Amino acid sequence: MDKFGLIGHPIAHSVSPAIFSKAYDGRWPYELIEGEDFGQSWKRFLDGYKAINITAPFKEPAFRKVASEGVLDESVKPIGAINIAVKEADGLVHGYNSDYLGVLQLMKDLGYGPGSTVVVAGFGGAGKAAAAAARKLGCDTIICNRSRYTPDIRPLEELPVLAGVADLLIYTLAFPIPELEETACPAILEANYKSPCLSGRPGYISGKLWHRAQAVTGYPLMTGCPVEAQL
């Protein structure tokens, strides 16, 4: 029987096993492959699992591993991280990113596309995925971050002004920005659904919807079967 799992550290309190089990009514086992060492966790995947989800701090090492030894989906290359690794029929491990696939599908469902202005706050893994998805949909995409400024990445101090002209603010930061309290934005999608900073604001979209979309778009890549239950 095929087995699936999650690598990362720490992951003891992950809800991924429960979500995967619900998605497929317990058809396949899904295990937490706990360990601090990426190499050991990756070997356990290769030795005993068909596909895995990947969480921090292993998304970037997994990207590099698959880039050198497997096949990366084209969509993950601008992101530099994967959170799904699958042993495919060609004998190679293929890497995907359901952070990207999930937010891409969610934004489509919400009607964003050409003519929409999307501001992404933060440029870590979730921020990179969100920016790549917004650009894929043809949105005018603006990124705000604390560092690594370029013509395409604006200082975080500009976020309140930029959010005020956005159709959608995608907030991936782990801390609140007080100045945003005075800024009106038609819609706010926050990545962090466990301890959100902006919930209760007008137009707020919970990160739980992004998380659910990750499962719906990502699990079929792992199992070869569409999700069978309402998540």
Per residue in 110-163, pLDDT (tens digit) is 999 999 999 999 999 999 999 999 999 999 999 999 886 677 799 999 999 999
Catalytic, 59? Answer yes
Q: Which residue(s) pair with 190 in the sheet?
A: 171
Would you say the pTM of this structure is higher than 0.85? yes
124, 98 contact by CB (below 8 A): no
* Per annotation, catalytic residue among 59, 65, 87, 128: 59
* Best CA proximity match to 34, nearest among 51, 4, 11: 11
User: What would the two tokens of residue 168 be?
Assistant: 């959608």
Place of tokens 């919400």: 110
180-219 confidence digits (pLDDT tens)? 988 899 999 999 998 999 999 999 999 999 999 999 999 9
Average pLDDT over residues 64-88: 97
The CATH-assigned architecture of domain 101-210 is 3-Layer(aba) Sandwich (3.40)
What's the pLDDT at 182?
Answer: 86
- Do the domains at 4-96 and 101-210 have one common CATH topology? yes
Detail the DSSP E strand segments found in the chain.
4-8, 30-34, 51-54, 71-72, 84-87, 93-96, 117-121, 140-145, 153-155, 168-171, 188-190, 204-205
29: DSSP letter:
-
- Residue 223 — pLDDT band, cuts 50, 70, 90? very high
pLDDT at residue 3 greater than cutoff 90: yes
Domain ranges of the chain: 4-96, 101-210
pLDDT averaged over the chain?
95
Question: Per residue in 40-53, pLDDT tens?
Answer: 999 999 999 999 99
**Architecture of the domain spanning 4-96:** 3-Layer(aba) Sandwich (3.40)
Looking at residue 152, its pLDDT comes to 78
pLDDT on residue 150: 72
Q: What is the pLDDT of residue 149?
A: 67
